[in-house]
């Protein structure tokens, strides 16, 4: 009996499934032991109470009609011949719970010691049912909150993606030069981040192309990217300086504006120039500078 109770405690403590699965565990463990010939567990249902699991259908056929409902309503155990029917109290008995049915083996004396063993077994099962019901109540309480948080997170993500896409504007179409862009995220869950591209025509008619990457892969990196992209674009457009000067002034602006360590980024800036004489000859001058970014690649026709 001690071994049975010990095994029951271990199984119930390790149980992490539903209350119905717990009932199946109980009848599998108790039914067919040295003291218990058959076992059944009833649990509350929409119609009052229903059979959750049994080790032997014949056990149910031998019960008087209404006995299970009577035990559940009164909250008191009943002995019928060799069958022990006991309530599984929840909420300290304030709310009717389930019912545990155990039929003793015929070769064991159905004495006070046997009934004490069954009471101890019932107490262990009732405690496990209460824990399972509490866990399910907690899950039911937390689920809508988790769903709400998921909706909020999805909205924030969609807003961040929309912000990022609005910043990654189509490239310009300067004279005699075609600029094509392609932005491909590593995966759907990493669509937002600090990567950016840009292309614009400066006041003197040169075309500047920028590819950069802010550290991080979240909405904060996207917000920082928007700041850095605007700084590079403004400095490049206003000064018309060479790429190295644009990067140097950007670095100073990051420090002077106290954007912090989150504004750490790599970038490559290229300036494509073509004077009237170069245009007549069909050539261009490409100046570029790299700040820790993967190197650009030149593919000739």
Share the mean pLDDT of the chain: 84
How much is the pLDDT for 268?
Answer: 96
Residue range 115-124: average pLDDT? 86
Structure-block tokens of residue 55: 């080790």
Q: Are residues 228 and 277 in contact, defined by beta-carbon separation less than 8 angstroms?
A: no
Does the structure show a pLDDT above 70 at 33? yes
Q: Are residues 212 and 265 in contact, defined by beta-carbon separation less than 8 angstroms?
A: yes
Residue 155: count of CB within 10 angstroms of its CB: 10
Does the structure show a pLDDT above 70 at 158? yes
Q: In the 8-state DSSP scheme, what is residue 285?
A: E
For the stretch 168-210, pLDDT in tens is: 788 888 877 899 988 876 665 555 678 889 999 998 889 999 9
- Report long-range pairs for 2-10 (Cβ below 8 Å, ≥24 apart): 4/29, 4/30, 4/33, 4/34, 4/35, 4/36, 4/121, 5/117, 5/120, 5/121, 5/124, 8/121, 8/124, 8/125, 9/124
Q: What confidence tier does 101 reach under pLDDT thresholds 50, 70, 90?
A: very high
Which has the minimum average pLDDT: 153-162, 187-196, 261-270? Answer: 187-196
């Amino acid at each position: 009996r001690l071994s049975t109770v010990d095994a029951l405690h271990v199984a119930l403590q390790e149980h992490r499934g539903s209350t119905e699965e717990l009932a199946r565990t109980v009848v599998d463990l108790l039914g067919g032991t040295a003291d218990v010939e058959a076992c059944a567990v009833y649990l509350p249902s929409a119609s009052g109470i229903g059979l959750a699991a049994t080790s032997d259908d014949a056990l149910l056929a031998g019960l008087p009609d209404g006995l299970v409902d009577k035990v559940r309503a009164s909250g008191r155990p009943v002995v019928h011949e060799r069958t022990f029917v006991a309530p599984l109290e929840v909420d300290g008995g304030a709310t009717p719970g389930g019912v545990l049915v155990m039929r003793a083996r015929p070769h064991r004396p159905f004495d006070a010691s046997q009934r004490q063993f069954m009471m101890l077994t019932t107490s262990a099962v009732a405690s496990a049912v209460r824990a399972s019901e509490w866990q399910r109540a907690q899950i039911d309480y937390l689920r809508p909150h988790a769903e709400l948080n998921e909706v909020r997170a999805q909205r924030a993500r969609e807003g961040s993606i929309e912000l990022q896409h609005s910043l990654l504007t189509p490239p310009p179409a300067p004279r005699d030069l075609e600029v094509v862009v392609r932005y491909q995220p590593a995966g759907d869950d990493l669509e937002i981040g600090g990567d950016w591209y840009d292309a614009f025509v400066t006041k003197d008619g040169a075309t500047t192309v920028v590819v950069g990457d802010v550290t991080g892969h979240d909405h904060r990196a996207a917000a920082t990217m928007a700041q850095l992209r605007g700084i590079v674009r403004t400095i490049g457009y206003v000064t018309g300086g060479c790429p190295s000067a644009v990067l140097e002034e950007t670095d100073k602006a990051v420090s002077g504006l106290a954007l912090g360590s989150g504004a750490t980024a790599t970038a490559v800036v290229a300036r494509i120039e073509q004077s009237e004489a170069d245009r007549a000859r069909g050539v261009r001058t490409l100046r570029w500078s790299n700040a820790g970014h993967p190197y650009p690649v030149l593919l000739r026709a």
